[in-house]
């Protein structure tokens, strides 16, 4: 707003929102026309589906029922906040407390650090863009500029159906090939697909599950997935007694990272010390995961402390988009390119890791194979009970020789909390459980592009549909059929859960129960 | 430099001419230079603010300007009221020769203080607010009223002198008003000198106990009184050199003895205060505050008292030492109350304050302006001259170039 | 009835909603450098992270408690004394204590002498050193909101109830109750400090480790100069009368000096 004197007056976010929210007339209409969403009605709760927080629709000069915000540690490896943009609408609290059941699920005073699973859902819900991922783009640009460094990148299953939105494409557009082309254009030396290690995870985790069921491995059942670092941290915080139920298999990202600095380095004769390993993830918690002290298997395996952590930098989908934009690449006109060989082939089972139920579906397909030695029937290629946006899904899969195997699929940590409490009470009829921290799974992770409207199942379904479509069109739909998986076991790892596989592909967890005072009452209320 | 102004009398026909003279000497050029630099800094301060020209900060909202220009300036200028008291009220006529110059110094001192304050305060254009918006619970309110009124009174008092030369018609009215002006002119400074001390009494627990006491107003008042003699000695010596005019030793000695009497009272009160509040241990802890406190008392009070009551005070050298020590003692005291006294508290979380060069320039510049004004007025008005002082012809002329300015 | 705010230090999670709310409500400006400072940085700064455009700040203190290292977040802002030193020290009445509790400042009356800053027992006032026409800046306790039966902006957004707005008397009772319940340090900071303040603090860790001025006087600061100011007119008139008498007596039968 320029005044007559030519001075630019700063317009605060609050006054802007009051202006927009309070002036129902022309401004509201024009905003609707430009697609900025309907002003929410008063009966829609905070965090309703309007673009504008409801507090700003009330008369008066200060938003009503503002609720503050979640604490974010300045040292948080994944999430940062720009105070200047914060409007205190309380959406972050809403999602953190009600959907992820983290905020408010501990007693005060806090001890040393804020309890945070780094899931990044607060980013997705923040209407003013105040919360965002910790920007690591410059680290990557620096590595790319260094000719002595081999920069290897992996891309998660869900980034390919998210990235396009940053360039104006419809929700769920599959840009797998363009993504590879863009990464090459940015100067990445090798482009791998995390789908490959998703398949590998199925082999490791599936083998582990079979061993648990047969009693070969003295670990409790149900086995719970460990691909999601937000979920893993959640267990470490709130359910340390259930840590043994977590699969010891690393997440696909960390498997790929460990293998890049060992298997790839060995095969391609590259000095592991000069490999810079980047991963493009739909997730902010991955930034935390790659910094965990356990995640430097390559260094341990090679007995060389100069080898950096398995994954050096994690970029979110949004950061990759920013890199592409900064480099001035015309993303829409890029050709479709293929991933590099060795660790760049994934199956349809790998790609559906990107949505809730995907890991389960992939695991069931391969478990069927591992137990029966036969290819799974076509019904398992469309396991509808575990698909969809329901928070808790259950299914029973009949595997010849074993009978009905009960499985559960959960997304959203508040849902997980309910099921965990049920498990602690001894009521856990499942053999295998897939749990993802973010509602809907990775496709709507904390690192995915922000949609023009707040997170909704409509968008989630469109992204998921795109992933299932990729799976349906894949030539290979079972993890165990992946030729590169066969090759890596033959050439490098020998067999699932072999000694080498244990060292590189499996990990352990730590209890974080001492970081805070646990909630005394079971009542789920705010302090 | 000579300037002749012609004033048209009201009859219209007759013209009277007045001669103004001001001779530039090297020292005066130095003063002019410093004053010019100060004015430049002051301009910057008004355009860019206090942050750009001072090292003041939120821990140290008061610094060199307030302590030097106000606390110190007022104290040093305070000699005027003391002399007025002795000469006009108590009619110790032998001190009359120094009365006018002491009161001129005081006037110039106050003008400098007022100027310094206008530069120092944030919203100088609001200086008149306390006249209408009465913050009467504030000690500063009293200081403000007293200083501003006293400055006006002093100007009027000086007008009495000034009208001997210009606007002669007003002289007789001013002369009639003199007794009232003198009484008010003594009452006001005694009130505000003590209040300047009381200002710090509000900073409970912030000022070192060596200085923070209920006696603060009394100490400030007494010291402003006894520093007067010291100032007059120094000033008459400097003026004696510059204007070739010396005040007789017995006059100064008498003044010094009165001052030393006040010092003894001051010292006794200090000791009593220390006994009552039990701060002896602090005084002899030999940390920085204790050293400052002790040297302030030793050099600024005890040694001057010894000088005053010994044969030393019958020599010009002894008198000058008395003056230098007394004035430095009070300078030190005022700086101690603020800087040494509050340093530990204000710096406890890493605050710090060292005056900026620009701050020194402004303080020195204001003094320079005062000196130049003094010299001009002393040369052009009957300040030093008329009664009982040694005239230039009576004493040897040491430096020929100053001689020409003598009357 | 005088309002107040109770700060329950152990309940603060350091989200800094309060300081953002303060910025928003008072339309205070942001500063790139200040914005990047963390609560721990601010605790180590001489000014507590308060500057002219930041009227309240959260400071983080890392302490030892029962052999464990813990972090405590302390909100800093004007304490709004019951009988404020700034009000009594201001010679142009630019400060005012409202009956509802807030101590407010009016720049149009301010001369800029900064005596208030020197007098403030909690060193909370900040000056706009960078401006050509500066004023004093501090928390106004959302005086217009409080007068309008609303609570202060900061308390309205606290997600954990660490800061509670209410009647001072009731809050004081609540504070004492909480001290007993939770085994806090047996002191309500602000109950008696500087003669009592509208803002009250309770804590489970020693106040002196969190930059509280625990040795501050419990007498209202204006009481230190009250007697002096009351006596001044009488002393002045009396002194003038004595001088007049002496003048007349000493000048009797003498030629007046000219």
CATH of the domain at B340: 1.20.1630.10
pLDDT of residue A57: 47
Q: Do B130 and C91 touch (CB under 8 A)?
A: yes
CA gap C59, C82 in Å, rounded: 24
Are residue C193 and residue C211 in the same domain, yes or no?
Answer: yes
Q: Do A12 and C27 touch (CB under 8 A)?
A: yes
**What topology does CATH give the domain A137-196+252-345+482-505?**
Rossmann fold (3.40.50)
Nearest residue in B to C211, CA atom: B349
Name the region of C123 (left: φ>0; alpha: ψ -120 to 50; beta: rest). Answer: left
- Measuring CA to CA, which residue among B277, B126, B256 is closest to residue B213? B277
Query: Does A100 have pLDDT greater than 90?
Result: yes
Residues of C in contact with B142 (CB under 8 A): 229, 232
Q: Which of B114, B119, B133, B388 to substitute to test the interface with C, most C CBs within 10 Å?
A: B133
Q: Do A69 and C72 touch (CB under 8 A)?
A: no
Q: What are residue C76's DSSP bridge partners?
A: C57
Task: Taking residues A446-457, report their average pLDDT.
Answer: 85
Half-sphere exposure of B276 (CA within 13 A, CB side): 10
Helix axis angle, A317-326 to A176-186, nearest 10°: 50
Query: Does A29 have pLDDT greater than 50?
Result: no
Q: Which two tokens stand for residue A287?
A: 């930034």
Instruction: Enumerate the CATH 3.40.50.1780 domain ranges in chain A, comma separated.
Output: 137-196+252-345+482-505
Which residue numbers of A are catalytic? 205, 208, 227, 247, 286, 289, 294, 442
Q: Is C120 on the interface with B (CB under 8 A)?
A: no
Query: Does B399 have pLDDT greater than 60?
Result: no
Q: What are residue A249's DSSP bridge partners?
A: A506
Instruction: Report which of residues B359 and A57 the model is more confident about.
Output: B359
Q: Do C14 and A526 touch (CB under 8 A)?
A: no
Q: Do A12 and C10 touch (CB under 8 A)?
A: no
Q: How many residues does chain A have?
A: 527
Query: How big is the CA angle at B220 (ends B216 and B225), to the nearest 5 degrees?
Result: 150
C near B: at least 3 beta-carbon pairs less than 8 Å apart: yes
Query: Does A89 have pLDDT greater than 50?
Result: yes
Q: How many CB atoms lie within 10 A of CB A517?
A: 13
| φ and ψ of C250, to 5 deg | -75, -25
Are residue C251 and residue C157 in the same domain, yes or no?
Answer: no
Residues of C in contact with B122 (CB under 8 A): 110-114, 127-128, 133-135
Are residue C212 and residue C234 in the same domain, yes or no?
Answer: no
Q: Is C14 on the interface with A (CB under 8 A)?
A: yes
| CB nearest to C46's CB, from B141, B195, B349 | B349
Residues of C in contact with B121 (CB under 8 A): 111-114
pLDDT of residue B111: 87
Are residue C153 and residue C134 in the same domain, yes or no?
Answer: yes
Domain count for chain C, please give it.
2
pLDDT of residue B384: 65
Are residue C177 and residue C227 in the same domain, yes or no?
Answer: no
Q: Do A527 and C68 touch (CB under 8 A)?
A: no
- Measuring CA to CA, which residue among A76, A49, A54, A68 is closest to residue A132? A76
Are residue C80 and residue C29 in the same domain, yes or no?
Answer: yes
Are residue C89 and residue C19 in the same domain, yes or no?
Answer: yes
Q: How far is A451 from chain C (nearest CA, A)?
A: 26
CB B218 within 8 A of CB C229: no
Q: Do B130 and C247 touch (CB under 8 A)?
A: no
Q: Do C68 and A72 touch (CB under 8 A)?
A: no
pLDDT of residue A525: 47
Q: Which of C12, C16, C20 to substitute to test the interface with A, most A CBs within 10 Å?
A: C20
Q: Do C243 and B187 touch (CB under 8 A)?
A: yes
Residues of C in contact with A93 (CB under 8 A): 159
Query: Does A224 have pLDDT greater than 70?
Result: yes
Nearest residue in C to A66, CA atom: C157
Q: Which of C21, C70, C148 to substitute to test the interface with A, most A CBs within 10 Å?
A: C21
Q: Which of B42, B45, B54, B58 to substitute to test the interface with C, most C CBs within 10 Å?
A: B58
Are residue C126 and residue C13 in the same domain, yes or no?
Answer: yes
CA gap A249, A325 in Å, rounded: 36
Task: Taking residues A413-420, report their average pLDDT.
Answer: 94
Q: Do A88 and C23 touch (CB under 8 A)?
A: no
Q: Which two tokens stand for residue B41?
A: 């800094």
Quote the percentage of chain A above a pLDDT of 70: 86
Helix axis angle, B96-120 to B249-277, nearest 10°: 50
pLDDT of residue A18: 58
Query: Which 8-state DSSP code applies to residue A352?
Result: G
Query: Does B2 have pLDDT greater than 80?
Result: no
CA gap A31, B311 in Å, rounded: 95
Helix (H, G, I), strand (E, B) or coil at A351: helix
Q: Is C228 on the interface with B (CB under 8 A)?
A: yes
Q: Do B129 and C133 touch (CB under 8 A)?
A: no
Q: Do A67 and C157 touch (CB under 8 A)?
A: yes
Which of these ranges, A185-194, A375-384, A468-477, has the smallest mean pLDDT? A375-384
Nearest residue in B to C93, CA atom: B135
DSSP-H helix ranges across B244-287: 249-277, 280-283
Domain that holds residue B280: 2-403
pLDDT of residue B72: 72
Nearest residue in A to C66, CA atom: A111
pLDDT of residue A520: 72
Query: How big is the CA angle at B112 (ends C88 and C115), to the nearest 5 degrees?
Result: 15
Please give the biggest Cα pair distance in chain B: 77
Half-sphere exposure of C138 (CA within 13 A, CB side): 28
Domain count for chain B, please give it.
1
User: What CATH number does residue C66 fall under?
Assistant: 3.30.70.20
Are residue C119 and residue C7 in the same domain, yes or no?
Answer: yes
Query: Does C258 have pLDDT greater than 70?
Result: no
Task: Taking residues C147-158, report their average pLDDT.
Answer: 90
Task: Taking residues B68-76, report their average pLDDT.
Answer: 73
pLDDT digit string, tens, across residues A45-70: 333 344 444 445 444 455 556 778 99
A near B: at least 3 beta-carbon pairs less than 8 Å apart: no
CA gap B64, B335 in Å, rounded: 8
Q: Looking up tokens 């004492």, which residue turns up?
A: C176
- CATH class given for the domain over A203-246+346-480: alpha beta
pLDDT of residue B25: 82
Query: Does B268 have pLDDT greater than 90?
Result: yes
pLDDT of residue A64: 58
Domain that holds residue C166: 1-221
Q: How far is B33 from chain C (nearest CA, A)?
A: 26
Query: How big is the CA angle at A406 (ends A504 and A222), to the nearest 5 degrees?
Result: 45
Residues of C in contact with A72 (CB under 8 A): 15
Q: Looking up tokens 């000497």, which residue turns up?
A: B25
β-pair type (A517-518, A106-107): antiparallel
Q: Which two tokens stand for residue B230?
A: 């010291």
Residues of C in contact with B179 (CB under 8 A): 247, 251
Q: Which of B99, B178, B183, B356 to substitute to test the interface with C, most C CBs within 10 Å?
A: B183
Query: Does B383 have pLDDT greater than 80?
Result: no
Query: Which H or E run contains C251?
Result: helix C223-251
pLDDT digit string, tens, across residues B83-103: 889 888 888 888 888 888 888
Q: How far is C46 from chain A (nearest CA, A)?
A: 21
Q: How far is B179 from chain C (nearest CA, A)?
A: 8
Chains B & C: contacts with CB separation below 8 Å: 196
Q: What are residue C75's DSSP bridge partners?
A: C58
pLDDT digit string, tens, across residues A461-506: 999 999 999 999 999 999 999 999 999 999 999 999 999 999 999 9
Task: Taking residues A266-288, report their average pLDDT.
Answer: 95
pLDDT of residue A434: 95
Q: Do B350 and C133 touch (CB under 8 A)?
A: no
β-pair type (C68-76, C57-65): antiparallel
Nearest residue in A to C205, CA atom: A109
pLDDT of residue B231: 87
Q: Do B139 and C132 touch (CB under 8 A)?
A: no
Instruction: Enumerate the CATH 3.40.950.10 domain ranges in chain A, comma separated.
Output: 203-246+346-480
Q: Is C102 on the interface with B (CB under 8 A)?
A: no
Query: Does A142 have pLDDT greater than 90?
Result: yes
Q: What are residue A153's DSSP bridge partners?
A: A191, A278
Q: How far is CA C5 from CA A150, B4, C162, C200, in A?
A: 58, 71, 10, 6
């Amino acid at each position: 707003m320029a005044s007559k004197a030519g001075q630019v007056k700063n317009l605060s976010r609050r006054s802007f929102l009051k202006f927009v929210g309070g002036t129902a007339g022309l401004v509201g209409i024009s905003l609707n026309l430009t697609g900025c969403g309907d002003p929410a009605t008063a009966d829609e709760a905070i965090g309703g589906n309007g673009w504008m927080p409801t507090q700003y629709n009330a008369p008066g000069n200060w938003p009503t029922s503002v609720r503050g915000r979640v604490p974010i540690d300045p040292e948080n490896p994944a999430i940062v906040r720009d105070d200047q943009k914060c409007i205190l609408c309380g959406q972050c609290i809403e999602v953190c407390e009600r959907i992820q059941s983290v905020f408010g699920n501990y007693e005060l005073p806090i001890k040393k650090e804020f309890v945070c699973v780094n899931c990044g859902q607060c980013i997705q819900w923040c209407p003013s863009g105040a919360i965002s991922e910790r920007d690591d783009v410059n680290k990557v640009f620096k590595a790319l500029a260094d000719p002595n460094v081999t920069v290897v990148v992996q891309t998660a299953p869900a980034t390919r159906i998210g990235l396009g939105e940053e360039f104006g494409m419809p929700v769920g557009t599959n840009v797998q090939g363009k993504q590879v082309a863009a990464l090459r254009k940015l100067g990445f030396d090798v482009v791998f697909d995390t789908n490959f290690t998703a398949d590998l995870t199925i082999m490791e985790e599936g083998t582990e599950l079979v061993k648990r069921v047969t009693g070969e491995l003295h670990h409790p059942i149900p086995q719970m997935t460990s691909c999601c670092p937000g979920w893993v941290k959640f267990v470490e915080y709130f359910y340390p007694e259930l840590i043994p139920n977590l699969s010891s298999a690393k997440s696909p990202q960390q498997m790929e990272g460990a293998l890049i600095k060992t298997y790839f380095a060995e095969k391609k004769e590259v000095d592991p010390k000069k490999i810079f390993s980047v991963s493009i993830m739909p997730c902010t918690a991955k930034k935390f995961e790659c910094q965990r002290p356990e995640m430097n298997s390559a260094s341990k395996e090679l007995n060389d402390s100069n080898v950096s952590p398995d994954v050096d930098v994690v970029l979110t989908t949004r950061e990759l988009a920013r890199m592409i934009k900064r480099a001035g690449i015309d993303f829409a006109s890029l050709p479709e390119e293929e991933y590099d060989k060795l660790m760049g082939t994934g199956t349809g089972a790998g790609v559906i890791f990107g949505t809730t139920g995907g890991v389960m579906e992939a695991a069931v397909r391969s478990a069927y194979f591992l137990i029966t030695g036969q290819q799974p029937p076509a019904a398992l290629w469309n396991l509808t009970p575990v698909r969809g946006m329901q928070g808790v899904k259950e299914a029973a899969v009949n595997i010849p020789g074993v009978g009905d195997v009960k499985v559960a699929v959960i997304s959203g940590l508040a849902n997980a909390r309910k099921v965990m409490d049920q498990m602690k009470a001894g009521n856990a009829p499942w053999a295998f459980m897939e749990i993802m921290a973010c509602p809907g799974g990775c496709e709507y992770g904390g690192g995915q592009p922000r949609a023009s409207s707040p997170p909704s199942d409509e968008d989630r379904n469109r992204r998921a549909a795109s992933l299932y479509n990729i799976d349906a069109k894949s030539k290979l739909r079972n993890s165990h059929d992946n030729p590169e998986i066969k090759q890596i076991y033959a050439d490098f790892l020998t067999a699932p859960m072999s000694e080498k596989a244990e060292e590189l592909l499996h990990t352990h967890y730590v209890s974080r129960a001492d970081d805070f005072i646990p909630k005394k009452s079971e009542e789920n209320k705010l302090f | 430099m000579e300037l002749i102004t012609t004033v048209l009398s009201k009859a219209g026909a007759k013209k009277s001419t007045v001669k103004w003279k001001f001779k530039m000497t090297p020292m005066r050029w130095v003063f002019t230079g410093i004053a010019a630099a100060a004015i430049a800094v002051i301009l910057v301060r008004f355009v860019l603010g206090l942050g750009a020209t001072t090292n003041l900060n939120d821990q140290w909202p008061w610094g060199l300007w307030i302590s030097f220009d106000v606390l110190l300036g007022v104290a040093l200028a305070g000699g005027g009221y003391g002399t007025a008291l002795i000469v006009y009220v108590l009619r110790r006529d032998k001190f009359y020769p120094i009365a006018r110059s002491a009161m001129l110094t005081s006037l110039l001192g106050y003008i400098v203080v007022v100027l310094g304050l206008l530069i120092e305060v944030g919203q100088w254009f609001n200086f008149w607010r306390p006249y209408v918006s009465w913050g009467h619970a504030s000690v500063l309110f009293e200081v403000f009223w007293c200083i501003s009124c006293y400055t006006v009174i002093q100007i009027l008092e000086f007008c009495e002198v000034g009208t001997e030369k210009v606007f002669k018609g007003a002289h007789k009215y001013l002369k009639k008003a003199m007794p009232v002006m003198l009484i008010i002119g003594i009452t006001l400074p005694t009130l505000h000198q003590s209040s300047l001390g009381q200002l710090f009494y509000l900073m409970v627990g912030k000022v070192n106990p060596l200085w923070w006491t209920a006696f603060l107003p009394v100490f400030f008042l007494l010291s402003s009184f006894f520093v007067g003699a010291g100032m007059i000695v120094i000033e008459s010596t400097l003026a004696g050199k510059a204007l070739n005019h010396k005040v007789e030793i017995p006059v100064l000695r008498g003044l010094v003895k009165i001052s030393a009497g006040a010092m003894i009272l001051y010292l006794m009160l200090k000791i009593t205060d220390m006994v009552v509040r039990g701060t002896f241990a602090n005084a002899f802890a030999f940390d920085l505050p204790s050293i400052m406190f002790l040297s302030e008392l030793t050099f600024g009070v005890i040694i001057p008292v010894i000088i005053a009551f010994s044969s030393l005070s019958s020599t010009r050298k002894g008198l000058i030492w008395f003056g230098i020590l007394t004035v430095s003692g009070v300078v030190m005291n005022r700086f101690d109350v603020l800087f040494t006294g509050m340093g530990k508290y204000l710096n406890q979380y890493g605050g710090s304050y060292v005056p900026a060069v620009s701050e020194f320039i402004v303080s020195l510049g204001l003094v320079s302006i005062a000196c130049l004004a003094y010299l001009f007025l002393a040369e052009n008005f009957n300040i030093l001259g008329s009664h009982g002082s040694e005239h230039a012809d009576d004493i040897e002329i040491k430096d020929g170039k100053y001689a020409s300015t003598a009357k | 009835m005088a309002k107040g705010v109770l700060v329950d230090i152990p309940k603060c999670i350091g989200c800094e909603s309060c300081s953002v709310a303060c910025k928003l409500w008072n339309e205070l400006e942001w500063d790139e450098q200040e914005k990047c400072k963390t609560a721990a940085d601010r605790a180590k700064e001489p000014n507590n992270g308060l500057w002219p455009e930041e009227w309240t700040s959260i400071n983080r203190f890392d302490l030892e408690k029962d052999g464990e290292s813990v972090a405590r977040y302390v909100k800093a802002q004007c304490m709004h004394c019951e009988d404020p030193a700034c009000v009594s020290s201001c010679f142009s009445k630019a400060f005012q204590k409202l009956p509802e509790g807030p101590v407010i400042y009016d720049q149009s009356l301010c001369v800029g002498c900064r005596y208030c800053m020197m007098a403030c027992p909690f060193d909370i006032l900040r000056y706009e050193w960078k401006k050509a026409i500066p004023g004093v800046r501090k928390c106004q306790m959302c005086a217009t909101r409080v007068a309008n039966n609303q609570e202060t902006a900061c308390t309205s957004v606290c997600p954990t109830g660490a800061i509670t707005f209410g009647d001072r008397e009731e809050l004081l009772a609540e504070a004492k109750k909480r001290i007993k319940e939770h085994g806090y340090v047996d002191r309500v900071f602000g109950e008696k400090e500087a003669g009592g303040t509208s803002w009250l603090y309770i804590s489970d860790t020693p106040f002196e480790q969190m930059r509280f001025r625990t040795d501050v006087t419990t007498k209202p600061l204006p009481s230190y100069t009250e007697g002096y100011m009351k006596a001044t007119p009488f002393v002045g008139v009396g002194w003038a009368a004595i001088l007049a008498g002496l003048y007349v007596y000493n000048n009797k039968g003498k030629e007046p000096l000219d």
